[in-house]
Amino acid sequence: MHIVRTVQAMRHEHEQWTGSVGFVPTMGYLHEGHLSLVRQARLENEHVVVSIFINPTQFGPQEDLGSYPRNIEHDLQLLSALGVDVVFLPAVAEMYPSGFTTYVNPEGALAEQGEGALRPGHFRGVATVVLKLFLIVQPQRIYFGQKDAQQVAVINRMISDLNLPLTLRVLSTIRESDGLAMSSRNSYLDNEERARATVVYRALKAAQMAVEFQQQTNIQKIIQAVQKVVNNEAGVQLDYIDLRDPTTFLPLETLKAPALLLIAVRVGTTRLIDNFVLHADGTWDTGTIASQIV
C-alpha cells in the first residue's frame, strides 16, 4: 500500500494504472462504517484509493476541528489489511495552498436546510474538498455512507450539475449492536452519554413502528412519536427531526416513498446524526449491525 501526500504523487500513481479506480473519501479514525465502503470499492474496482483528510473548510468556527479524533497508524493498518492500493494523506497546505479562493457553493434547500441550517457553510466546504479530491484521484466510482444522507444528496446533485464522469455508490449505515450508528464522533461520549446516545435509534424506531404497525401517515404525529422518546431522555437535546425528499431535501407534507426520516441530537456537547430510509415498496432501510458483517 502506498501512502501519498502530494497531488503530484497521486497523479503519478494514477498514470501507472489501467482499469477502474474506486475512491473512498474519509476524515480518518476509521470504523466498520468506513471499512464497509472500502470493502465494496475493493470488490468493484481494479484500484482502490482512500483519502484521510480532516477538511477545515467544512467545520464552523465553534465546531470540533481541533479535537476531531485522529489515529493514522491504526487507520493505515486497517486499510492495508483490506488491500487498499493508495492512501491519499495530504496536509492542509497541499489542499488549500496560500491564496486559495475558489469554492463550490451548493445552494437551495439541499445545502441550506437540515445540517446546512445548523452548520452554515458546511456543505460549501464538503463540496469544495470532494470536487478537489475527485479531480486529484480521478476515480470512476466513489463510495459514500447513507449515515450522512444530506451529504450524499449534495454530492449527487454536484455530480449531475457539473457533469462529473462518476458513479456514486451509497452504502447502508453500519450500526453498533444497540443500534447506534457508527461515527468517529462516538469516541467523544463518556459511558453515561454513550448509553443515552441509543435514544437516536430508539426514536427513529418509534417513528418506524408508528408507520408500520399503526399505519400512521400524519407527519406531525410521526414527528411527535420521535419527540416523545427524545424528550424522555435526560441530557439529550433534539436539533431536528425531519421527513424529507432524499433528492431535493425539501420537507415532505405527506408520507410518500422514497422518504428520509432524519434526526440530529446533541448528547452533552457531542452532535450525532442518523436517518432511516423509507422505500417505495414500504420497507425501511435502517442499516446493518456491524457484528453481522461477515
Ligand X SMILES: Nc1ncnc2c1ncn2[C@@H]1O[C@H](COP(=O)(O)OP(=O)(O)OP(=O)(O)O)[C@@H](O)[C@H]1O
Active site residues: 34
Residues numbered 200-229 forming contacts with ligand PAF, rule: CB under 6 A:
none
Q: How far is residue 226's CA from residue 29's CA, in Å, rounded to a whole number?
A: 30
Residues numbered 7-66 forming contacts with ligand PAF, rule: CB under 6 A:
25-27, 55, 58
Residue 232 Cβ vs ligand PAF, minimum distance, rounded to whole Å: 31
The contact set with ligand X (CB under 6 A) reads 26-27, 33-34, 36-37, 144-145, 147-148, 171, 173-174, 181-185
Burial of 91 (0-12, 13-18, 19+ CB in 10 A): exposed
Residue 226 Cβ vs ligand PAF, minimum distance, rounded to whole Å: 24
182 is known to lie in a ligand binding site? yes
32 is known to lie in a ligand binding site? yes
Among candidates 117, 109, 132, which has minimal Cα distance to 57? 132
Helix, coil or strand: residue 284: strand
For residues 33 and 125, which CB has a smaller minimum distance to ligand X in the complex?
A: 33
176 is known to lie in a ligand binding site? no
Residue 58 Cβ vs ligand X, minimum distance, rounded to whole Å: 9
Among candidates 136, 135, 173, which has minimal Cα distance to 151? 173
CA 133 to chain centre: 16
DSSP states along 97-139: -TT--------SHHHHSTHHHHSTTHHHHHHHHHHHHHHHH--
For residues 47 and 119, which CB has a smaller minimum distance to ligand X in the complex?
A: 119
Element holding 72 (H helix, E strand) = helix 72-81
Helix, coil or strand: residue 13: helix
**Given the C-alpha cell 474519509, which residue does it identify?**
26
Residue 217 Cβ vs ligand X, minimum distance, rounded to whole Å: 29
For residues 131 and 225, which CB has a smaller minimum distance to ligand BAL in the complex?
A: 131
160 is known to lie in a ligand binding site? no
Q: DSSP label at 181?
A: B
Burial 264-279 (b: 16+ CB within 10 A, else e): bbebeebbbbbbbbbe
Look up residue 276 and give its three cell numbers.
Answer: 432511516
Count other Cβ atoms within 10 Å, centred on residue 70.
14
185 is known to lie in a ligand binding site? yes
Task: Using CB under 6 A, pick the residue from 32, 75, 85, 148 that binds ligand BAL.
Answer: 148
Q: Is 58 in the site for ligand BAL (CB under 6 A)?
A: yes
Q: Is 85 in the site for ligand PAF (CB under 6 A)?
A: no
Task: Using CB under 6 A, pick the residue from 10, 76, 129, 210 that binds ligand PAF.
Answer: 129
70 is known to lie in a ligand binding site? no
The answer to whether 19 and 47 have CB atoms below 8 angstroms apart is: yes
Please give the residue whose beta carbon sits closest to ligand X in the complex.
Answer: 145
Task: Using CB under 6 A, pick the residue from 21, 76, 130, 259 that binds ligand PAF.
Answer: 130
What is the chain's length? 294
Residue 29 Cβ vs ligand X, minimum distance, rounded to whole Å: 7
Residues annotated within the binding site for ATP are 27-34, 145-148, 174, 182-185
Residues annotated within the binding site for (R)-pantoate are 58, 151
Binding site for ligand PAF (CB under 6 A): 25-27, 55, 58, 126, 129-130, 148, 151
